[in-house]
């Protein structure tokens, strides 16, 4: 069985490393230099042009959006307009690990089924650190038999794999998870801003939250590592989070669910991304700045002062 892994960015490359340790793999990326480096490092074949595809049984996609997925699979802009989906033999399998739109996923899965090709959506959560360690949380949508076939390909990259439902359910779950993640970041920033105004060190307040009922992954991981330190360097780009938030809010609108709480966080996240587009943890900096506070721990602020004095 031959696998093509497409997408060697900040998440895709460490995922490909984990995969290549278990399975033979051919690599592709739009960045030719990144492709060369990855192929040398992993001892894998580099496929420079997707139109040069030979026999491939499994395609794994880790690309930025549904538009890129559609271009790769349907061949928009390629010679003859034939994408990978048109060149996979019956019995092939597509695993889309990108953060894609559920309706696009359902349409592509139906087109794949007509060709006898399996299709699984398997987006991930956990960020670069979990991609490196091979402990990503993977939420999987698709027909049961296709998901069964995909498991051997997902396991090298996963700490946890959750079967979510039919085609598109994995991508829906990922978008909704990120809407909640943004809400947790923004809500914690507001709480820390009030605590700071009262005179409580943000680091102490986070300790209180993490020992109490207000804790979340944001308070337990993102705040200590990336926000209280003032580094804002989680590795997850803010525009990608905003894209996922848009998918989630569109789902809510389609299914007529009002988003009074998470909708407010989504609005704030979009505003924050316009001011601080680099890393999604910048959402906390934006909320704090509007409150006129600094979320860095007092020890971090003292370090800055000491550096300036020196």
139 in the same domain as 225: no
Beta bridge partners of 138: 124, 161
189 in the same domain as 130: no
pLDDT averaged over the chain?
93
The most distant pair of C-alpha atoms in the chain lies apart, rounded to whole Å, by: 69
Last residue of a domain, one of 112, 146, 165: 165
| Tens-place pLDDT, residues 102-131 | 999 999 999 999 999 999 999 999 989 999
139 in the same domain as 33: yes
Rounded Cα distance, 171 and 141, in Å:
7
Region 180-201: mean pLDDT is 97
pLDDT above 70: residue 304: no
> Could you say which of 48, 130, 174, 243 is catalytic?
174
Last residue of a domain, one of 117, 136, 165: 165
Question: Which domain, by its residues, includes 183?
Answer: 173-309
| Tens-place pLDDT, residues 195-235 | 999 999 999 999 999 999 999 999 999 999 999 999 999 98
pLDDT above 90: residue 51: no
pLDDT above 50: residue 307: no
161 in the same domain as 177: no
Read off the pTM. 0.91
pLDDT at residue 268 in the model: 98
Joined tokens for residue 141: 């949508």
Q: Into how many domains does the chain fold?
A: 2
| Tens-place pLDDT, residues 293-302 | 999 988 887 7
Most confident of 50-64, 249-263, 287-301: 249-263
Rounded Cα distance, 115 and 92, in Å:
9
| Cα–Cα separations (whole angstroms), residue 27 to 9, 82, 253, 275 | 12, 19, 38, 35
pLDDT above 90: residue 310: no
Last residue of a domain, one of 134, 165, 196: 165
Pure H helices in the chain? 12-20, 32-42, 66-74, 102-114, 127-133, 144-154, 169-198, 202-210, 217, 238-254, 262-275, 282-290, 298-309
Q: Which residues have a Cβ under 8 Å from the Cβ of 84 and sit 6 or more positions away?
A: 4, 50, 53, 56, 59, 72, 73, 75, 94
47 in the same domain as 129: yes
The CATH number that applies at residue 188 is 1.10.1040.10
174 a catalytic residue:
yes
Output the CA torsion sign for 107, 76, 248, 61. Answer: positive
Name the CA dihedral angle for 197, 201, 204, 206, rounded to a multiple of 10 degrees: 60
Task: Name all contacts of 245-249 with Cβ < 8 Å and 24+ positions apart.
Answer: 245/175, 245/178, 245/179, 245/182, 245/269, 245/270, 247/99, 247/101, 247/102, 247/171, 247/172, 247/175, 248/175, 248/176, 248/178, 248/179, 249/179
Residue with the two structure tokens 């038999």: 145
pLDDT above 70: residue 276: yes
200 in the same domain as 152: no
9 in the same domain as 139: yes
110 in the same domain as 34: yes
235 in the same domain as 297: yes
Each residue of 35-56: b (16+ CB within 10 Å) or e? Answer: beebbeebebebbeebeebeeb
Name the CA dihedral angle for 8, 11, 14, 16, rounded to a multiple of 10 degrees: -50
The CATH number that applies at residue 155 is 3.40.50.720
């Amino acid at each position: 069985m031959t696998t093509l892994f497409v997408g060697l960015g900040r998440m895709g490359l460490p995922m490909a490393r984990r995969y290549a340790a278990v399975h033979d793999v051919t690599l592709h990326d739009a960045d030719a230099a990144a492709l060369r480096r990855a192929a040398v490092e992993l001892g894998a074949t580099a496929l420079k042009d997707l139109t040069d595809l030979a026999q491939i049984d499994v395609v794994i996609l880790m690309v930025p959006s549904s538009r890129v997925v559609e271009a790769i699979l349907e061949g928009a802009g390629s010679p003859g307009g034939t994408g990978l989906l048109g060149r996979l033999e019956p019995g092939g399998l597509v695993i889309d690990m990108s953060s894609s739109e559920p309706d696009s996923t359902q349409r592509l899965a139906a087109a794949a089924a007509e060709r006898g090709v399996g299709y699984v959506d398997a987006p991930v959560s956990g960020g670069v650190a979990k991609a490196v360690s091979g402990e990503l949380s993977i939420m999987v949508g698709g027909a049961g038999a296709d998901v069964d076939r995909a498991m051997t390909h997902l396991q090298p990259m996963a700490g946890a794999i959750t079967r979510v439902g039919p085609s598109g359910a994995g991508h829906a779950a990922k978008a909704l998870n990120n809407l909640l993640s943004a809400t947790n970041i923004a809500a914690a920033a507001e709480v820390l801003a009030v605590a700071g105004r009262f005179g409580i060190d943000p680091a102490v307040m986070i300790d209180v939250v993490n020992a109490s009922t207000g804790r979340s992954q944001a308070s337990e991981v993102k705040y200590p590592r990336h926000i209280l330190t003032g580094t804002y360097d989680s590795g997850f780009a803010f525009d990608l989070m905003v894209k996922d938030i848009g998918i989630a809010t569109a789902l809510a609108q389609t299914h007529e669910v009002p988003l009074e709480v998470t909708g407010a966080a989504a609005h704030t996240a979009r505003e924050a991304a316009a001011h601080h587009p680099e890393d999604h943890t910048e959402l906390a900096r934006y909320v704090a700045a509007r409150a006129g506070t600094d979320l860095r721990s007092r020890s971090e602020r003292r370090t800055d002062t000491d550096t300036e004095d020196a």
